[in-house]
Amino acid sequence: MATILIVSGSPSQDAPTAVLLRHVSVVLNSLGHEVHQLSVRDLPTVALLSADLLDPAIRNAMDLVDRADGVVVASPVYRAAYSGLVQSLLNLLAKTALTGKVVLPLANGGSQGHLVAIDYALRPLLSARGATNVVPGHFVLDAEVHDNISTTVSNELDLAVRRFANAVAERPGLATAS
Number of domains forming the structure of the chain: 1
- Count of alpha carbons within 13 angstroms of residue 5, beta-carbon side: 22
Q: What is the pTM of this model?
A: 0.93
- Measured from the Cβ of residue 85, the count of other Cβ atoms closer than 10 Å reads 22
- Spatial distance between the Cα atoms of 38 and 53, rounded to a whole number of angstroms: 16
Domain span at residue 161? 3-177
For 153, list phi and psi in degrees, rounded to 5: -65, -40
Q: Domain holding 109: CATH number?
A: 3.40.50.360
CA proximity to 6, closest of 96, 68, 78: 68
Any idea what DSSP says for residue 147?
A: S
Rounded distance between C-alpha atoms, residue 31 and residue 34, angstroms = 9
CB atoms within 10 A of CB 101: 23
- pLDDT, one tens digit for every residue, the chain (178 residues): 899 999 999 998 888 999 999 999 999 999 999 999 999 999 999 999 999 999 999 999 999 999 999 999 999 998 777 899 999 999 999 999 999 999 999 999 988 777 778 888 889 999 999 999 999 999 999 989 988 888 888 899 999 999 999 999 998 776 544 4
